Amino acid sequence: MYDVIYIDRDGAETPLADHLADRAEAAAFACRAAAERGAGRLVLPGSTNLRDCVCVVRTPPAPPVFDAA
Nearest-angstrom CA–CA distance, 43 and 55? 5
For Cα atoms 46, 42, 53, give the angle at the middle one, nearest 5 degrees: 95
Asked if residue 20 lies in contact with residue 26, where contact means CB atoms within 8 angstroms, the answer is: yes
Whether the pTM exceeds 0.85: the reply is no
Q: In this predicted model, what pLDDT tens digit does every residue of 7-63 receive, in sequence order?
A: 888 888 899 999 999 999 999 999 899 888 888 666 666 666 677 888 888 888 777
Amino acid 26: pLDDT: 93
Q: Coil, helix or strand for 34?
A: helix
Predicted local distance difference test score (pLDDT) of residue 42: 63
pLDDT at position 9, please?
Answer: 82
In sequence order, which residues have a C-beta less than 8 Å from that of residue 46 and are 6 or more positions away? none
Q: Identify the pLDDT of residue 11.
A: 82
Query: Rounded distance, CA 26 to CA 44, Å?
Result: 10
pLDDT value, residue 7: 87
